[in-house]
Homo-oligomer: A and B are copies of this chain.
Amino acid sequence: MRYAPEQKQATRERVLGEAAKQIRVHGPSGVGVAEIMKRAGLTHGGFYAHFPSKDALIAAAIDTMFEAGRARFAEHALGRPPREALTAYIDWYLSAKHRDDRATACPIAGLSSDVPRLSKAARDAYANGVTRVTKAIASLVRELGHRDAEAQGRSVVAELAGALALSRVEPDAARSTEILAASRRALRARLGLGARS
């Protein structure tokens, strides 16, 4: 049955949204096309009206994840002075909430080790996303008056991603929280953001 013209686009976005969630939780090779379509309220056969292959879906879903990430960044940083913006973003990134909410979390921490094994299109989408996040952070670091803001931005993103990933790996809740707290403090100190929490 033919549907209203906006419906195809809406369906595509629903599929992408479900794919982005499932991939973040179960990994690119841990979810199937059928499962994603089912969650989007469809049968698996219709998948190929929207994407040429599962690989293409993964690449597109990575874009979706980074878009959500930019919205998250804007939410915490936009319209605030750089010191507050950076502090808020770091505090959110290294929070228990972000650690536990894997389905909607930042793909930099949650997918980094999968990426080298993905298709070129997926890797490019991912690298592009990481670059944009890095630039956004670097720009706040620059506004704070630090020298070598670009390099500092890279280093900050590395620590954010590493700390969140490691906090997810630690089964002891107290220790996991300490991992987050240790990196929050270290980042505050080296960015001169002043102590808190």
Whether B163 contacts A130 by the Cβ 8 Å rule is no
Distance (Å) between the CB of A106 and the closest chain B CB?
A: 11
Whether A112 contacts B165 by the Cβ 8 Å rule is yes
Distance (Å) between the CB of A99 and the closest chain B CB?
A: 10
* Complex: chain B residue closest to A186, CB-CB: B155
Please, what's the 1-or-0 string for A20-50, where 1 marks a CB less than 8 Å from any CB in chain B? Answer: 0000011101100000000000000000000
Interface size band for A: 35 or more
User: Which residues of the partner chain B approach A179 to less than 8 Å between Cβ atoms?
Assistant: 154, 158
Please, what's the 1-or-0 string for A166-197, where 1 marks a CB less than 8 Å from any CB in chain B? Answer: 10111110010011011101100110000000
Q: List 12 A-B contacts (CB under 8 A).
A: A27-B114, A30-B117, A116-B169, A151-B181, A151-B186, A154-B166, A154-B179, A155-B163, A158-B165, A158-B179, A161-B165, A162-B163
Distance (Å) between the CB of A150 and the closest chain B CB?
A: 8
